[in-house]
């Protein structure tokens, strides 16, 4: 469904220096596939997501959605960020409906879907609450509903659980897997957690230090639906060890 061909991104500093963020990234992501991306800080993971959805131009290469070249922002993509970034002056249901307003569609046509999504994530009865009345995990559930309200083909998630405590993070991961099982969107999920990347993904894309490129794509051989006790399986530990080797060995070569 999504194809990246030799994608590169170079920034220019205030001094006029070129900073190579990404180089030669090639990757194919299938329809309804759950792909996780992991790598060291500063390797260009977030930059890659912005280019995939058309929010940032490429320096070289090309990105395609179903064979169509990405030339600008796409409306068939939903995004979830590390912070829920809810509008504090709007109640929960109107936060969920905000993309409908941006897309200049009729709100009344999506109210039932907004309520259905809130029920899907366990927030039925919270439609009229304000964001500050919800916990961090609950706010992030609202952010996921907002990303899904216009029924996008692709869900892009940039460290969505990074600011949550460990227990809430596990709960949100399980919740996301349940939603994905029901809605079956194509998901690209960036994380710093190796365990999270393995537990959620069909494949894990391991990035190198800057300039970021694909070190290896690892097929996760764990059955679905996933459960937390899979963290203790030998296959899980094997995947984790391989990813650590790729990430930390490359870091050692870079700093040594």
* 186 & 147 share domain: no
What's the pLDDT at 53?
Answer: 92
* 10 & 49 share domain: yes
| CA–CA gap between residue 55 and residue 218 (Å, rounded) | 27
| CA–CA gap between residue 98 and residue 115 (Å, rounded) | 14
* 173 & 61 share domain: yes
* 171 & 228 share domain: yes
**Those residues with Cβ within 8 angstroms of residue 146's Cβ, 6 or more apart along the chain or in another chain:** 78, 95, 96, 98, 99
Residue 238: what are its φ and ψ, rounded to 5°?
Answer: -65, -45
* 189 & 244 share domain: yes
Residue at a domain's end among 103, 122, 152: 152
* 49 & 102 share domain: no
* 229 & 249 share domain: yes
Are the beta carbons of 212 and 25 closer than 8 angstroms? yes
* 68 & 168 share domain: yes
Site of tokens 């919270």: 126
pLDDT average per 10 residues of sequence, the chain (256 residues): 95 84 95 95 91 93 94 91 92 96 93 94 95 94 95 93 86 91 92 95 95 95 92 95 85 50
Are the beta carbons of 203 and 36 closer than 8 angstroms? yes
| CA–CA gap between residue 231 and residue 198 (Å, rounded) | 9
Residue at a domain's end among 105, 122, 152: 152
Give the strand order in the sheet containing 18-29: 18-29, 2-12, 60-65, 68-69
What's the pLDDT at 255?
Answer: 47
- Domain total in the chain: 2
* 161 & 178 share domain: yes
Residue 87: what are its φ and ψ, rounded to 5°?
Answer: -80, 115
Strand partners, 190: 37, 158
* 71 & 170 share domain: yes
The alpha-helical segments, DSSP class H, found in the chain are: 45-52, 92-96, 98-102, 111-120, 136-148, 166-183, 194-200, 234-255
Residue at a domain's end among 109, 127, 152: 152
Residue 81: Cβ within 10 Å count: 18
- Measuring CA to CA, how many Å separate 218 from each of 13, 194, 242? 34, 12, 9
* 160 & 227 share domain: yes
* 130 & 55 share domain: no
CATH classification of the domain holding 178: 3.40.50.300
- Residue 40 sits at the vertex; the CA angle it makes with 35 and 45, to the nearest 5 degrees, is 45
Range of the structural domain that residue 226 is part of: 2-76+153-255
């Amino acid at each position: 469904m999504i194809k990246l061909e030799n994608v590169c991104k170079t920034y220019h500093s205030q001094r006029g220096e070129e900073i190579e963020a990404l180089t030669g990234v090639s990757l194919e992501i299938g329809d309804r596939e759950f792909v996780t991306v992991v790598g060291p800080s500063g390797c260009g993971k977030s930059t890659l997501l912005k280019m995939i959805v058309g929010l940032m131009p490429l320096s070289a290469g090309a990105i395609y959605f179903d064979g169509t070249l990405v030339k600008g922002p796409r409306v068939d993509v939903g995004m979830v960020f590390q912070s829920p970034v809810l509008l504090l002056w709007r109640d929960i249901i109107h936060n969920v409906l905000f993309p409908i307003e941006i897309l200049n569609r009729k709100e009344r046509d999506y109210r039932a879907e907004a309520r259905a999504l809130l029920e899907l994530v366990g927030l039925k009865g919270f439609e009229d609450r304000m964001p500050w009345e919800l916990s961090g995990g609950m706010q992030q559930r609202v952010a996921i509903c907002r990303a899904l309200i216009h029924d996008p083909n692709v869900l892009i998630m940039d460290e969505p659980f990074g600011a949550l405590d460990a227990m809430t993070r596990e709960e949100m991961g399980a919740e996301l897997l349940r939603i994905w099982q029901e809605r079956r969107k194509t998901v690209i999920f960036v994380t710093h957690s190796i365990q999270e990347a393995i537990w959620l993904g069909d494949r894990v894309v391991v990035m190198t230090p800057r300039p970021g490129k694909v070190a290896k794509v690892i097929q996760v051989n764990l059955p679905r639906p996933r459960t937390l006790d899979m963290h203790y399986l030998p296959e899980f530990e094997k995947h984790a060890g391989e990813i650590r080797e790729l990430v930390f060995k490359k870091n050692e070569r870079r700093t040594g």
